[in-house]
């Protein structure tokens, strides 16, 4: 049987589809390019539209909202984590002080008045109100918030929060007997020790004075007003400034004359404050006999003559403890010595108050007489007449 060859013709697939496949690839490439361009154009248009919308929105002014106020600035600038404080509404603060009534006013300083307030839960507060004519600007306002918010001590005023939006319930001098005064001196010393040594930061207050010491119901002193405070680095002992601020009568000589301040500047102010608490007199404006002595000079002369007890205010003499008074005067004179290096640290001061041993003999203090200083020192002091002891 003859078998013929079977001729099977198999179509050449590559040959028959080579052109269409190339065409498809070309079309797909074109489509991809076009789609990419469209996506890019859409994204660019979306970005431009979003920018335009934000710009448009930022140009819209909301009605009845003050612009560029201190509170607006502070709230915006505190977004970086300067403080973690509560923000009180002005209406709440106003209500707590009976709309800042005169009979709630505790005192007034260069920054403005301080009012006593009572919150809805019965908590008593002191409200520091920055006046329009205040010498304390936004920087000092923020400075005070920053320090008080981060510092916690029983003898430092506690800051509850802020509202950025002493005819004084005065305790008369005759009411404060010696035991209360001695308790106040100890508390102030412990508060300063905390600032200088025991807090997370080394703080120099720079404006320690009677009107910046608040008293609670138990006569515990609270150091307040940190608007002029400065933070020191771990290895920094002193600083120098051309912008000398503070209160005449409490300024150390190196700070008043040369702009040099350190923790020893606060020690000097503390010494002056102790003499004021003991005597019931203010250093500034004090005069004795011929008017040439200020309180520091008068205390020094009595100490040298062995008559230091005569410095004590008359209304306290029936309730006094002579040893405590003499020790307080002695320590205060150590604190107001002319040279900063001669003054003790606050840790030494606290130890001296707690012990009964002999004290080193003080050197002559810096004698500040108002009329002598007036002709040589610039007019930079902030003096307030509400220092009552």
Q: How far apart are CA 163 and CA 140, in angstroms?
A: 15
- Three-class SS state of 202: strand
Radius of gyration of the chain (CA): 36
- Three-class SS state of 107: strand
3-state percent breakdown (helix, strand, coil) of the chain, nearest 5: 45, 10, 45
The strand ranges marked E within 237-374 are 238-240, 260-262
Phi, psi of 109 (to 5 degrees): -130, -165
Q: How far apart are CA 211 and CA 166, in angstroms?
A: 8
Q: What does the DSSP 8-state code read for residue 195?
A: I
Number of neighbours of residue 192 by Cβ within 10 angstroms: 29
The closest alpha carbon to 273, from 180, 106, 388, 383, belongs to 388
Catalytic residue among 207, 225, 266, 387: 207
Contact indicator for 349, 238 with CB cutoff of 8 Å: no
Q: What does the DSSP 8-state code read for residue 340?
A: G
Q: How far apart are CA 340 and CA 224, in angstroms?
A: 24
Contact indicator for 67, 58 with CB cutoff of 8 Å: no
The closest alpha carbon to 171, from 210, 209, 207, 208, belongs to 210
Contact indicator for 274, 328 with CB cutoff of 8 Å: yes
Helices 178-193, 263-279: axis angle to 10 degrees equals 170
Q: How far apart are CA 272 and CA 210, in angstroms?
A: 10
Whether 80 is catalytic is: no
Residues marked as catalytic: 207
């Amino acid at each position: 049987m003859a078998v013929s060859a079977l001729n099977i013709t198999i179509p050449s697939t590559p040959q028959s589809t080579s052109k269409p496949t190339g065409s498809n690839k070309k079309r797909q490439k074109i489509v991809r390019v076009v789609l990419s361009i469209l996506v890019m154009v859409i994204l660019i248009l979306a970005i431009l539209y979003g920018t335009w919308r934000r710009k448009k929105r930022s140009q819209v002014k909301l009605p009845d909202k003050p612009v560029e106020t201190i509170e607006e600035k502070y709230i915006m600038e505190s977004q970086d984590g300067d403080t973690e404080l509560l923000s009180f509404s002005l209406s709440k603060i106003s209500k707590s002080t009976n709309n800042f009534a005169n009979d709630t006013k505790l005192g007034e300083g260069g920054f403005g008045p301080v009012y006593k307030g009572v919150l809805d839960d019965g908590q008593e507060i002191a409200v520091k109100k920055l006046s329009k004519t205040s010498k304390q600007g936004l920087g000092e306002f923020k400075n005070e918030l920053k320090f008080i918010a981060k510092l916690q001590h029983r003898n430092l005023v506690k800051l509850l929060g802020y509202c950025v939006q002493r005819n004084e319930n005065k305790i008369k001098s005759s009411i404060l007997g010696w035991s209360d005064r001695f308790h106040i001196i100890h508390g102030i010393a412990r508060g300063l020790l905390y600032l200088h040594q025991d807090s997370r930061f080394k703080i120099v207050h720079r404006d320690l004075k009677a009107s910046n010491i608040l008293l609670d119901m138990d006569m515990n002193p609270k150091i307040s007003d940190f608007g002029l405070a400065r933070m020191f680095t771990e290895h920094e002992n002193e600083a120098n400034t051309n912008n000398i601020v503070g209160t005449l009568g409490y300024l150390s000589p190196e700070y008043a004359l040369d702009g040099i301040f350190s923790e020893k500047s606060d020690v000097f102010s503390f010494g002056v404050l102790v003499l004021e608490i003991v005597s019931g007199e203010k250093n500034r404006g004090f005069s004795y006999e011929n008017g040439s002595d200020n309180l520091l000079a008068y205390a020094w002369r009595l100490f040298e003559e062995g008559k230091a007890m005569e410095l004590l205010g008359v209304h306290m003499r029936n309730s006094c403890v002579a040893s405590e008074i003499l020790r307080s005067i002695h320590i205060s004179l150590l604190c107001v010595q002319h040279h900063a290096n001669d003054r003790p640290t606050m840790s030494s001061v606290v130890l001296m108050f707690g012990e009964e041993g002999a004290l080193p003999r003080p050197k002559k203090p810096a004698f500040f007489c108002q009329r002598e200083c007036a002709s040589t020192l610039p007019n930079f002091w902030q003096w307030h007449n509400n220092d009552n002891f």
